[in-house]
A and B are shown apart, each in its own frame.
Chain A
Amino acid sequence: MSDITEPNRTGRDVPPIAISRTTTEVNPTGSWKYIRPRYEDRVAPCNANCPVGIDIEGYLYLLGQGRTEEAAALLLEENPMPAVTGRVCHHPCEDGCNRANLDEPVAIHAVERRLGDIALASPPPAAPDLLRDERVAVIGSGPAGLACAYHLARLGYRVTVFEAAPEAGGMLRLGIPEYRLPRAILDRQIDRIAALGVEIRCSTAIGRDIEWSELDEFDAVFAAPGAHVGKDARIESSNEAPTIRAGLEFLKEVNAGARPVLGDHVIVVGGGNTAMDCARSAMRLGSVVTVLYRRTPLEMPAIPQEVKEAKLEGVGFQFLATPAAARTEDGRLLGIECQRMELGPPDDSGRRRPVPVEDGRFSMIADFVLTAIGEDCDLAFLPNGVEISGGVAKVDELCESTTARVFVGGDAADLPRSVADALGSGKRAALGIDQWLRERAGEAPAALDVAALRFGASGNVSIARQRGTDPLHRAAPVNEVVEFDGMNPAHFEPAARNEDHFHSAGDLSASFGEVNFGISDREMSAEVERCMNCGVCNRCELCLIFCPDMAIHRREDGEGFEIDLRYCKGCGLCAAECPRGAMAMSREES
């Protein structure tokens, strides 16, 4: 019997602490797991919200890596005119930005503008090789037409653009005033598209200058004529007053360089972007301007920033009011009889319909009235087989109309009327035409999986995805948008958004110079840093740092990580800590 009051002296060497004496590799902890991590890139909401279909998150990531040229190339892959959209787009990308849940959205539009200007400063691109025999005609050199021409040219097609106006640009030139979009920027952006080998024939309207039949020599046609016919505001006795005019006509004149005198008091009717452009242009011509809108500020379709700038510049607003009749004397406009409105039940658009208030008549002095309550398309030049419905052409998701080889897009198709939507429409048309021509040539390409080309379920298509030119390695991409609650906000510091710098609104008379100066390079870097790269691995390495089993390794090519599933025990820390939702967990099979 040993003496139990003394510890056993066996000579065993037990250290004073728990310390391993062999490598932990003998213990493949991966056998413990019942859930495993999936290292997968998802889709940032900005990308999915962009009507153009830009990989915004991708170019912000590249900018963050200091890869400015690649960032510009990725941006230009999807968007032919970032210096334009950076200035005039209503940037729905920012509406979707997850950063809003933390502080404020990333100022994407300002970064796009800066990067677009950087790209504009580089030498024009070389014309791509002509890879295809087919020729494509594009009707209209607005954003939809130019986007289609741009993408088709890059796909190797010969493209001719027919423009009714003396200069290219469509509504970008005719509708958008210079103080929002300087002509030098627009000209250079169009020059770069022409440099791709795109032929642009101006002053050539189909049905006016040439017949539709002359387009027979082309293998496909994309018609993007825009919406140029101002809707009638139905003001009683307006035919007696020549100074009651369609706002768009006035804008076209001013944008072409005219500086008409409108008189002291100008009333602009409508609450959209055309109305804002009319009002601010009239201000610059020396008039006192009041916008008459039949609903409230909440229902205004204009870009909120435009409304804000109009107010800053001194434009007055009369809400819940609509013009009823013109008061004239000897063919001279004295004023407008207006009807006070109130909001009734919602109409088809979901907005509450304005209805007249009883005894709600009042009058306003007016020397000039500009009506801007929406525009219609003139589609009479299209061949009979193209089905028109509700004033726009009936097309499929790649803009193919009901007539063979004819594609229709931009404002002439049923989509929100914005520069971004037009650019996105032109891109889809390019893909549709390419596909259609390949099928016709008997190349029998696989049916285009449009859903796979879209950012998320409902975003626009990506050319980079279609062409396989994405410069970024994507870890097992999953085409779903990452919401804020799928991310880990603990890893982000609050940081204030860098706003655009504006011309201080002083004496604006006759000044059509640009009012928004954008942001500086340093502010752009700060905005790039604010981007959370939602859903996409940006190599922050937090997963690697947090993995308790050292089962996550950097890939040798530097493009992200590999997970060693022999040792990953499925704890889920990587997925929980990933700031951007690029790591998910799923149950092990059996």
Chain B
Amino acid sequence: MKKVMIGNHAVSWGVQRARVEVISAYPITPQTQIVEELSDMCADGRLPARYIKVESEHSAMAACIGASAAGVRTFTATSAQGLALMHELLHWAAGGRLPIVMADVNRAMAPGWNIWTDQNDSLSQRDTGWIQLYCETNQEVFDTTIQAFRLAETINLPVMVILDAFFLSHTSEPVDVTDQEIVDEFLPRREAQYKLDPADPHAFGALVRPDAYMEMRWQQQEAMRDTLTLMPEIDEAWGKLTGRTYGAIEKYRTEDAELLLVTSGTITSTARHVVDERRERGEAVGLVKVKMFRPFPTGALREALAGVDRVAVLDRNISPGHGGIFAEEIRSALYDVPLEDRPLLFGYVLGLGGRDVTPAVIDSIVDRTWSAKQSERQDLWVGVEL
């Protein structure tokens, strides 16, 4: 069934198809339409889930944690300050190995107060132990939401499905809403390994002493490591049913490329357009889209970028005092690539607080990357007027 829908509703439909059993959320722009649609679905019976109203995002995640610990499939959605308010609970969800799926609509952090997109909200939660998947289109949002539940429940880690504010959340695109039977085949009912059960009572989340804490963390790390292979496998399985796959990273026209753009989110679509134009002009320009940021696909990126002359990483985010966050991580991933294969890497910080990243902006980045003599000591801020 193809429907024209905004990205927020693509999330809602993904959640509906995933037969989520408990939803708890607190409204925040630009996410609100996700849970608004879900509450409608709960009210009119399209989704027979329990919708728990709460007074804050902290409580929303707490409710999801409780429900997930009881063994049911749970979902929430948030954005920016709401996600920041959840911070403590994000650790509880991940450390509790609870397969909660959350949509985060990327919105810039305040102050200054801003409702438009950038990635600092989700990237600030990098070390909470959540898998992070960044989406480019509404179709990908729908598909990723469903995949996220299978991934989360297979590996017992929570998953954040991330989409750009407005460019996806409020923009309509055709979305193929996969038939329920197909989704059911792909995503069986959750079978929790551990769950709250009055017949077999246990306390969850209690004290763990130094003699066992590291072992628990190690198992979490192993799960993240396993996710590197599991995520593409699940993506392939979905592809077999629907014909749509995305990968942890995607290589676009990278054959014989001498310059590769590295992007995430909706900037990718604009960059594809620029790559196509450059290729038409005979320039050896390609694109690598990073979908999965945690766990970081170090191996895949090393394979994709090693041997290329120049790499330009476009970061719609900033780690103040350092630089663009994707650029940092990619530099780190390439460190042990042999020197002769190691590309010159250029980091560009752009589009913060929802500033437009147009084809012209990306063109200027490509031009500058071609002409630069060597890598910069620090990332360049694009289009900042001082």
Residues of B within 8 A of A19 (CB): 194, 202-204, 206
Q: Which of B203, B218, B220 contacts A20 (CB 8 A)?
A: B203
Contact (Cβ within 8 A) B208 A18: yes
**What's the least CB distance linking A589 to chain B, in Å?**
29
Q: Is A4 in the interface zone, CB < 8 Å from B?
A: no
Contact (Cβ within 8 A) B97 A16: yes
Q: Is B96 in the interface zone, CB < 8 Å from A?
A: yes
Contact (Cβ within 8 A) A14 B202: no
Given the complex of chains A and B, what is the CA–CA distance between A148 and B32 in angstroms? Answer: 67
Residues of A within 8 A of B206 (CB): 18-20
Residues of A within 8 A of B220 (CB): 16
Q: Is A21 in the interface zone, CB < 8 Å from B?
A: yes
B203's closest neighbor in chain A, by CB?
Answer: A20
A21's closest neighbor in chain B, by CB?
Answer: B202
**What's the least CB distance linking A254 to chain B, in Å?**
60
Contact (Cβ within 8 A) A17 B215: no
Residues of A within 8 A of B339 (CB): none
**What's the least CB distance linking B162 to chain A, in Å?**
25
Q: Is A7 in the interface zone, CB < 8 Å from B?
A: yes
Q: How many residues on the A side are at the interface (Cβ–Cβ under 8 A)?
A: 12
Q: Is B216 in the interface zone, CB < 8 Å from A?
A: yes
Q: Is A469 in the interface zone, CB < 8 Å from B?
A: no
**What's the least CB distance linking B192 to chain A, in Å?**
11
Q: Is A305 in the interface zone, CB < 8 Å from B?
A: no
Q: Is B219 in the interface zone, CB < 8 Å from A?
A: yes
Q: Is B205 in the interface zone, CB < 8 Å from A?
A: yes
Residues of A within 8 A of B205 (CB): 17-18
**What's the least CB distance linking B157 to chain A, in Å?**
10
Residues of B within 8 A of A15 (CB): 194, 216
Q: Is A5 in the interface zone, CB < 8 Å from B?
A: no
**What's the least CB distance linking B196 to chain A, in Å?**
10
Q: Is A467 in the interface zone, CB < 8 Å from B?
A: no
Contact (Cβ within 8 A) B216 A14: yes
Q: Is A24 in the interface zone, CB < 8 Å from B?
A: yes
Q: Which of B201, B207, B216 contacts A17 (CB 8 A)?
A: B216
Contact (Cβ within 8 A) B204 A17: yes
Contact (Cβ within 8 A) A14 B215: yes
Given the complex of chains A and B, what is the CA–CA distance between A158 and B1 in angstroms? Answer: 90
Given the complex of chains A and B, what is the CA–CA distance between A15 and B213 in angstroms? Answer: 10
A24's closest neighbor in chain B, by CB?
Answer: B203
Contact (Cβ within 8 A) A18 B218: no
Which of A7, A15, A18 gathers the greatest number of chain B CB atoms within 10 Å? A18
B156-193 interface code vs A (CB 8 A; 1 in, 0 out): 10000000000000000000000000000000000000
Given the complex of chains A and B, what is the CA–CA distance between A20 and B212 in angstroms? Answer: 13
Q: Is B95 in the interface zone, CB < 8 Å from A?
A: yes
**What's the least CB distance linking A27 to chain B, in Å?**
9
Q: Is A12 in the interface zone, CB < 8 Å from B?
A: yes
Given the complex of chains A and B, what is the CA–CA distance between A24 and B202 in angstroms? Answer: 8
Question: What bracket does the count of chain B residues touching chain A fall in?
Answer: 20 to 34
Given the complex of chains A and B, what is the CA–CA distance between A12 and B202 in angstroms? Answer: 20
Given the complex of chains A and B, what is the CA–CA distance between A17 and B95 in angstroms? Answer: 7
Given the complex of chains A and B, what is the CA–CA distance between A15 and B97 in angstroms? Answer: 11
Residues of A within 8 A of B156 (CB): 16
Contact (Cβ within 8 A) B216 A20: no
Given the complex of chains A and B, what is the CA–CA distance between A15 and B205 in angstroms? Answer: 12
- Which residues, 1 to 30 on A, are CB-close (under 8 Å) to B? 7, 12, 14-21, 23-24
- Which residues, 187 to 243 on B, are CB-close (under 8 Å) to A? 194, 201-208, 212, 215-216, 218-220, 223
A7's closest neighbor in chain B, by CB?
Answer: B218
Given the complex of chains A and B, what is the CA–CA distance between A18 and B202 in angstroms? Answer: 10
Contact (Cβ within 8 A) B97 A12: no
Contact (Cβ within 8 A) B194 A17: yes
A23's closest neighbor in chain B, by CB?
Answer: B201
**What's the least CB distance linking B93 to chain A, in Å?**
11
Given the complex of chains A and B, what is the CA–CA distance between A21 and B206 in angstroms? Answer: 11
Residues of B within 8 A of A7 (CB): 215, 218
Residues of B within 8 A of A24 (CB): 203
Given the complex of chains A and B, what is the CA–CA distance between A20 and B96 in angstroms? Answer: 13
Given the complex of chains A and B, what is the CA–CA distance between A17 and B97 in angstroms? Answer: 7
Given the complex of chains A and B, what is the CA–CA distance between A565 and B201 in angstroms? Answer: 21
Residues of B within 8 A of A16 (CB): 97, 156, 216, 219-220, 223
Given the complex of chains A and B, what is the CA–CA distance between A12 and B219 in angstroms? Answer: 13
Given the complex of chains A and B, what is the CA–CA distance between A488 and B122 in angstroms? Answer: 37
A38-77 interface code vs B (CB 8 A; 1 in, 0 out): 0000000000000000000000000000000000000000
**What's the least CB distance linking B243 to chain A, in Å?**
35
Contact (Cβ within 8 A) B207 A18: yes
A19's closest neighbor in chain B, by CB?
Answer: B202
Residues of A within 8 A of B212 (CB): 12, 14
Residues of B within 8 A of A12 (CB): 212, 215
Given contacts A12-B215, A14-B212, A14-B216, contact A20 B202 (CB under 8 A): yes
Given the complex of chains A and B, what is the CA–CA distance between A109 and B319 in angstroms? Answer: 67
Given the complex of chains A and B, what is the CA–CA distance between A24 and B204 in angstroms? Answer: 11
Contact (Cβ within 8 A) B96 A17: yes
Q: Which of B201, B216, B223 contacts A18 (CB 8 A)?
A: B216
Given the complex of chains A and B, what is the CA–CA distance between A420 and B56 in angstroms? Answer: 49
Residues of B within 8 A of A21 (CB): 202
B201's closest neighbor in chain A, by CB?
Answer: A23
Residues of A within 8 A of B207 (CB): 18
B101-124 interface code vs A (CB 8 A; 1 in, 0 out): 000000000000000000000000
Residues of A within 8 A of B223 (CB): 16
Residues of A within 8 A of B95 (CB): 17-18
Residues of A within 8 A of B215 (CB): 7, 12, 14
**What's the least CB distance linking B377 to chain A, in Å?**
33
**What's the least CB distance linking B202 to chain A, in Å?**
5
Residues of A within 8 A of B96 (CB): 17-18
**What's the least CB distance linking A550 to chain B, in Å?**
10
**What's the least CB distance linking B98 to chain A, in Å?**
9
**What's the least CB distance linking B26 to chain A, in Å?**
18
A17's closest neighbor in chain B, by CB?
Answer: B97
Given the complex of chains A and B, what is the CA–CA distance between A582 and B223 in angstroms? Answer: 49
**What's the least CB distance linking A118 to chain B, in Å?**
40
Given the complex of chains A and B, what is the CA–CA distance between A14 and B220 in angstroms? Answer: 12
Residues of B within 8 A of A14 (CB): 212, 215-216, 219
**What's the least CB distance linking B307 to chain A, in Å?**
29
Given the complex of chains A and B, what is the CA–CA distance between A19 and B95 in angstroms? Answer: 11
Given the complex of chains A and B, what is the CA–CA distance between A20 and B204 in angstroms? Answer: 6
**What's the least CB distance linking B263 to chain A, in Å?**
35
**What's the least CB distance linking A301 to chain B, in Å?**
48
Given the complex of chains A and B, what is the CA–CA distance between A14 and B97 in angstroms? Answer: 14
**What's the least CB distance linking A533 to chain B, in Å?**
25
Residues of B within 8 A of A18 (CB): 95-96, 204-208, 216
5 other A-B residue contacts (CB within 8 Å) besides A7-B215, A19-B204:
A7-B218, A14-B219, A17-B205, A17-B216, A19-B203
Which 6 pairs show the lowest CB-CB distances between chains A and B? A20-B203, A14-B215, A16-B219, A18-B208, A20-B202, A14-B212
Contact sample, A vs B, 14 pairs, CB 8 Å cutoff: A12-B212, A14-B216, A14-B219, A16-B156, A16-B219, A17-B95, A17-B204, A18-B206, A18-B207, A18-B216, A19-B194, A19-B202, A20-B202, A23-B201
